[in-house]
Amino acid sequence: KNQVEQSPQSLIILEGKNCTLQCNYTVSPFSNLRWYKQDTGRGPVSLTIMTFSENTKSNGRYTATLDADTKQSSLHITASQLSDSASYICVVSVFSGGYNKLIFGAGTRLAVHP
Amino acid sequence: IAGITQAPTSQILAAGRRMTLRCTQDMRHNAMYWYRQDLGLGLRLIHYSNTAGTTGKGEVPDGYSVSRANTDDFPLTLASAVPSQTSVYFCASSRDSGDSGANVLTFGAGSRLTVL
């Protein structure tokens, strides 16, 4: 069964600290992996997209890594800011049945405290 | 500002009533989607449309219908709402439905629906 598991479920860190969020997936066949940021009361916004051949991709203070062999991805946030408080969602893509099927993780809720 | 507009932002309605959630995009994207987001679960696809005039069923289509009369609009209708349809509904669009790593989904701000 295609699944995307994220950990931790929630995380609290102090402003300025780094953190790493984890994503494990069992999706097959794998197409690409995406990380989204969802602020409270808003829709998800794309941070990164990686294909199976990419190991790392950065977007400012956000760096995503992908290990297609172990089916694991991580999102590293450097020098966190209060505005980083949000849910971070890992999404794995499978092209199946005529459309790009996205399998969404339940997200990691990050709170950055001053 | 280019993007997706959803309406209403929130709605409370009685079980058995009919409800249509509206979604409009101005990016000329070919593909559009409706997702529901429930606490503790990942977003789940309800219906999708690869291009104007076509629609398809997603993961949880029962109790919902959609239409795609033109490129910009993709309304979601609940014919007879039930309490289990209480959720936050997100409309999304993408340039196309192909298997491209650059095919980013743009989401609306969501519509919070409560069925009593």
Dist. CA A6–CA A52, nearest whole Å: 19
Amino acid letter for position A87:
S
pLDDT at position A95 is 72
Determine the 3-state secondary structure of A82 from DSSP.
Answer: helix
Dist. CA A84–CA A102, nearest whole Å: 24
For residue B61, give the DSSP letter: -
pLDDT at position A17 is 97
From the list A41, A42, A99, which residue is nearest B97 (CB)? A99
Q: Per-residue pLDDT for A2 more than 60? A: yes
Dist. CA A2–CA B80, nearest whole Å: 31
* CB pair distance less than 8 Å for A100 and B44: no
The model's pLDDT over A51-91, given as tens digits with 9 standing for 90+, comes to 888 899 999 999 999 998 899 999 999 999 999 999 999 99
pLDDT at position B102 is 57
- Mutant choice from A1, A6, A38, A99 vs B, greatest count of B C-beta within 10 A: A99
From the list B99, B102, B110, which residue is nearest A49 (CB)? B102
Report the chain A residue with the minimal C-alpha distance to residue B95. Answer: A100
Taking CB atoms and an 8 Å cutoff, what residues of chain A touch B50?
Answer: 98-99
Q: Using 50 as the pLDDT threshold, list the residues of chain B that sit under it.
A: none
Q: Which two tokens stand for residue A85?
A: 């408080």
pLDDT at position B32 is 94
Torsion angle of C-alpha atoms B76, B79, B82, B86, degrees rounded to 10 = 10
CA distance B23 to chain A (A): 13
Q: Which two tokens stand for residue B78?
A: 């609940």
Q: How many residues in chain B?
A: 116
pLDDT at position A100 is 65
Instruction: Return the closest-CA partner of residue B54 out of B30, B21, B23.
Output: B30
